[in-house]
Amino acid sequence: MTMEQSTALAPASRAVQLLGTDLSEKNLKLHLEGLSGVDAVGLEARAAALATRSIKTSSKVWALDTIIRLIDLTTLEGADTPGKVQSLVAKAINPDPSDPTTPRVAAVCVYGDLVADAVEALGAAHGSGGPDGIAVAAVATAFPSGRASLAVKLADTAEAVAAGADEIDMVIDRGAFLAGNYGKVFEQIVKIKDACRRPDGTSAHLKVILETGELNTYDNVKKASWLSILAGADFIKTSTGKVQPAATLPVTLLMLQVVRDWYRLTGEKIGVKPAGGIRSSKDAVRYLVTVAETAGEDWLDPHLFRFGASSLLNDVLLQRQKLQTGHYSGADYLTID
Amino acid sequence: MNSHLAVPKTYKLYIGGAFPRSESGRTFEVADRKGRFLANAAKASRKDARDAVVAARAAVAGWSSATAYNRGQVLYRIAELLEGRREQFVAELRAAGGLTQSKANQEVDAAIDVWIWYAGWADKYLQVVGNGNAVSGPYFNISTPEPTGVVAIIAPQGELAAGGGLLGLASVLAPVLVSGNTAVLVANEAAPLPAISLAEVLATSDVPGGVVNILTGSAAEIAPWLASHSDVNGLDLAGAGELEWVDLQISAAETLKRVLPPETGVPAPSIERIRFFTETKTVWHTKAII
């Protein structure tokens, strides 16, 4: 154990900046264990208080459109087919065919082997960073369990990037994290980040999934968030959506606090993505409030905040139609997904 | 301990098999005919109506796919439970409506009879309403009714003795349920107690949650939201005679709902009320390979 702890780690620039050039597992562990504990009662009370804000009329219109712009429209099923991906993409480009003013979603999120299908289906609509461009995100690294060798994970990532993925959603090795083997988790993230590089020198964005439902405590979520950011994450993401509980408001609030602290420390903005379990507009609006009040309104942007969701979009569209027409809408007036 | 402090009941809504308070937190006082306080009831808002439609929509798949025989049994079971709760309904009709004991008994009898009459149609109306159509070819052409989906009902309003009670409720609710529709019912505004007591019967019967949803409060306030709601397929305006029901019809037409116009008093039992909230499906099939 002590031998392991003194192992030198890959010199990820953020970690070197914060922990010094003699980066070792021991240093990392000391830093993570030195983080202040999370006041669970206070955190949950704060999240509950933020969830009581009432958003009405013009603010609600703005909130609903913002939610759509922040969605990573997701399909992650074993039964996904190229046809399913095409219909997902069609919905991403034109969420509500009855209203062309509906904004587009931020990205579509699929398994790595379907990236090429998504890119092809998007055609001219494909693009990350543009105002109307829709990015392609791929889950990688033996999603959702993360139980595979590093070589397999790297190959998984490299293939998705080569196929045209703009964003990689990787899962951390929860087993290693819970066993206290922070160095292993750190190294893996650094290497996956490396595998996100494209031949032209640019790099796919890396979202690191903590799978907070398996980390058991808020303290662990906080440690894993710091660890992921130090290792080079562009985004930290709550969950795979395959484990209950998935995204919760307190966990997202905590991750936003870490991101805010990192911004204050270094001036660098890291993104946050809650995923799984956010199905209603009402829930999503609560997340927007939490983002604005914690990290700041700058974060209400697809580059810094995303919802990983599928059924959420239809609920937002129902609310949007209600606000536009003045009467309640129904599922018959939406596309099925 | 020989003194007992009376505990007046606070009635709630019935949505999705549960008894929630109104989302708005509003209540109103229910009085008897002489204006004396009887109970508090929840005053439903448009959001309660929306929630009720969501619950009703979710229940359509299960209820409409139950076999006709099974639906008949479930409805018959409700009649059995009504019989068991007879005393409560009689007492409510007497207290809130000023009916005599024998009139109240007659009303409950009539309501149970109507309910059983409709329950019996569950596995028979198809044979009566459906058709084998004449065609000029060697195949069968068959038309058969299917439930339309979610039906919003404005229950008969006004005096309990004049149809606003249990009989009126049974006469509008049962025909909608028989074919496999689910219902959102707006109770008699002036005297909602029989409707909520019926909800308590339904909650302990075999009717799946969400098949019947009951809202108490202002019909004039809730009805327009149900009439314009895109996820409601049918509208029974039986008790809407005093409302702006032409406007309700117009907004219902925007989403092509089936609309039954207002009635005076209690709608008579008829198979037409069952047929009205159905859609006809016509299929053909080859006769035989000879």
Overall average pLDDT of the A189-198 stretch: 96
- Rounded distance between C-alpha atoms, residue A268 and residue A99, angstroms: 37
Residue A44 pLDDT > 90? yes
**Does the CB of B53 have a partner CB in chain A at under 8 Å?**
yes
Q: How confident is the model at residue A234 (pLDDT cuts 50, 70, 90)?
A: very high
For chain B, give the mean pLDDT: 94
- Chain A residue with minimal CA distance to B149? A332
Among A280, A325, A328, A332, pick the best mutation site for testing chain B contact (most B Cβ within 10 A): A328
CA distances from A268 to A54, A248, A258, A295 (A): 31, 25, 12, 12
B29 in a structural domain: no
pLDDT at A2 over 70: no
- Catalytic, out of A169, A173, A234, A315: A169
Residue A329: list chain B partners with CB under 8 A.
230-231
Could B229 and A333 be called an inter-chain contact, meaning their C-beta atoms sit closer than 8 Å?
no
- For residue B8, pLDDT beyond 90: no
All domains of chain A in start order, with CATH: 2-333 (3.20.20.70)
Cβ atoms of B271 and B121 within 8 Å: the answer is yes
Q: List CB contacts (< 8 A) between B232 and chain A.
A: 330
Cβ-nearest to A329 among B225, B230, B251 = B230
Query: Does the pLDDT at position B192 exceed 60?
Result: yes
CB atoms within 10 A of CB B174: 25
Average pLDDT over residues B29-49: 92
Q: Is residue B7 part of a domain?
A: no
Q: Is the pLDDT of residue A128 over 50?
A: yes
Query: What pLDDT, on a 0 to 100 scale, did the predictor assign at position B290?
Result: 59
Q: What was the pLDDT predicted at A6?
A: 60
User: Under a CB-based contact definition with an 8 Å cutoff, are residues B10 and B38 in contact?
Assistant: no
Please state, in angstroms and rounded to a whole number, the distance separating the CA atoms of residues A321 and A65: 12
pTM recorded for the entire structure: 0.90
Contact A327 B230 (CB under 8 A): yes
Catalytic site residue A169?
yes
CB atoms B57 and A328 under 8 Å: no
Q: Is the ipTM of this complex over 0.95?
A: no
Average pLDDT over residues B68-91: 95
Q: Does B85 touch chain A (CB under 8 A)?
A: no
What percent of chain B has pLDDT above 70?
99
Number of domains in chain B: 1
- What is the predicted pLDDT for the residue at A79? 96
Element (H, E) at B271: helix B271-276
* Residue A276 Cα, gap to closest chain B Cα (Å): 22
Overall average pLDDT of the A141-157 stretch? 95
**CB contact B248 to A (< 8 Å):** no
Q: Is A223 a catalytic residue?
A: no
Q: What is the mean pLDDT of residues B228-252?
A: 96
Whether B237 has a pLDDT exceeding 50, the answer reads yes
Q: Indicate whether B137 belongs to any domain.
A: yes
pLDDT of residue A30: 92
CATH at B267: 3.40.605.10
pLDDT class of B34 with cuts at 50, 70, 90? confident
**C-alpha distance from residue B135 to each of A212, A321, B141, B210, B280 (Å):** 64, 44, 7, 41, 17
CA dihedral A171, A177, A182, A187 (to 10 degrees): -30
Nearest CA in chain A to B150: A330
More confident residue, A168 or A131: A168
The letter for the amino acid at A297 is E
pLDDT tops 50 at residue B156: yes
Tokens of A178: 């819970």
- The confidence band for B289, taking pLDDT boundaries of 50, 70 and 90, is low
**Which pLDDT score, from 0 to 100, does residue A57 have?**
86
Token output for A21: 């050039």
- Provide the phi-psi class of B221: left if phi over 0, else alpha when psi is between -120 and 50, else beta: alpha
Nearest-by-CA chain A residue for B255: A329
Q: Active site includes A56?
A: no
How does the average pLDDT of chain A come out, rounded? 94
Residue B3 lies in a domain: no
Cα-based distances in Å from A296 to A328, B72, B250, B258: 33, 59, 47, 50
pLDDT of A22 above 70: yes
Cα–Cα distance, B28 to A6 (Å, whole number): 71
Nearest chain A residue to B54 by CA: give it.
A330
- E strands, A46-146, are 71-74, 107-111, 135-140
Residue A220: how many other CB atoms lie within 10 Å: 18
pLDDT value at B278 more than 50:
yes
Structural domain span for residue B91: 13-21+37-286
Nearest CA in chain A to B231: A330
With bands split at pLDDT 50, 70 and 90, how would you rate the model's confidence at A1?
very low
Q: Do B225 and A327 touch (CB under 8 A)?
A: yes
Which residue of the set A184, A193, A223, A273 is catalytic? A273
Is B25 touching A (CB cutoff 8 A)?
Answer: no
pLDDT at B163 over 90: no
Contacts with B24 from chain A: Cβ below 8 Å: none
Check residue B54 and give its pLDDT: 96
Contacts of A330 in chain B (CB under 8 A): 53, 57, 229-232
Residue A285 near residue A312, CB atoms below 8 Å: no
- Is the CB of A328 less than 8 angstroms away from the CB of B231? yes
Least-confidence region, from A34-38, B159-163, B170-174: B159-163
| Closest CA of chain B from A69, distance in Å | 26
Asked whether the predicted pLDDT for residue A266 surpasses 80, the reply is yes
A332 CB neighbours in chain B (<8 A) are 230-231
**Contacts of residue B151 in chain A, CB cutoff 8 Å?**
none
**Is the residue at B146 inside a domain?**
yes
Lowest model confidence (mean pLDDT) among A39-48, A124-133, A218-227: A124-133
Query: Tell me, what's the pLDDT at B1?
Result: 60
Q: Which residue of B57, B182, B230, B250 is the best one to mutate when testing the A interface, meaning the one whose CB has the most A CBs within 10 A?
A: B230
Query: Closest residue of A to B232, CA-based?
Result: A330
Tell me if chain A has a CB within 8 Å of the CB of B88. no
> Closest partner residue to A331 among B225, B231, B254, by Cβ?
B231
pLDDT at A132 > cutoff 80: no
B271, two tokens = 């198979």
- Residue among A327, A329, A333, A334 with most chain B CBs within 10 A, to mutate: A327
> Which tokens in the block code for residue B255?
């989403």
B86 at A interface, C-beta within 8 A: no
Of the candidates A125, A223, A225, the residue with the CA atom closest to the CA atom of residue A166: A125
The yes-or-no verdict on residue A3 having pLDDT over 50 is no
Chain A residue set in contact with B, beta carbons under 8 Å: 321, 326-333
Beta strand extents in chain B (DSSP E only): 10-11, 27-31, 37-42, 131-133, 139-147, 150-154, 182-186, 212-215, 234-236, 258-260, 278-286
Average pLDDT over residues A229-233: 96
CA distance, residue B228 to nearest chain A CA (Å)? 6
